[in-house]
Amino acid sequence: MDNKEQYIEPLIRVIELNEDKSWLDTFLGLRTGGFLPGGGAGSLNDWGPSYSNNIKSSWYSNLYDILRKLFDNNIPAEQFSELKLIKFRNNIRVIRCLNCNKSYQHPSVFESCIALDFYYKNFTQLAKNELLLNLFIPELTYESQKTKEYRNWLSEQYEANNIKVYDFVNNKYICPHCGKDHGETEHDLYILKDELADQKLFVRQKQNANWDDFERIPAGNSSLPKAGYSRWQKLFGSE
Q: Whole-angstrom distance between the N-terminal and C-terminal Cα of the chain?
A: 36
Q: What is the pLDDT of residue 38?
A: 85
Report the distance separating Cα 65 and Cα 51, nearest Å. Answer: 14
Q: Residue 221 above 60 pLDDT?
A: no
Task: Report the distance separating Cα 170 and Cα 136, nearest Å.
Answer: 28
Model-wide pTM > 0.75: yes
Q: How far apart are CA 189 and CA 208, in angstroms?
A: 8
**Per-residue pLDDT tens for 100-120?**
999 999 999 999 999 999 999
User: Is residue 209 within 8 Å of 86, Cβ to Cβ?
Assistant: no
Give the pLDDT confidence score for residue 219 in this predicted structure.
52
DSSP calls for 89-139: TTEEEEEEETTT--EEE-HHHHHHHHHHHHHHHHHHHHHHTT-GGGGG-GG
Asked if pLDDT for residue 167 goes beyond 60, the answer is: yes
Residue 16, phi-psi category: left (phi > 0), alpha (psi -120 to 50), beta (remainder): alpha
Domain count, the chain: 1
Across 58-69, average pLDDT: 98
Q: Which domain holds residue 172?
A: 5-236
Residue 53 makes CB contacts below 8 A (sequence gap 6+) with none
Distance, in Å, from the CA atom of 187 to the CA atom of 207, rounded to the nearest integer, reads 7
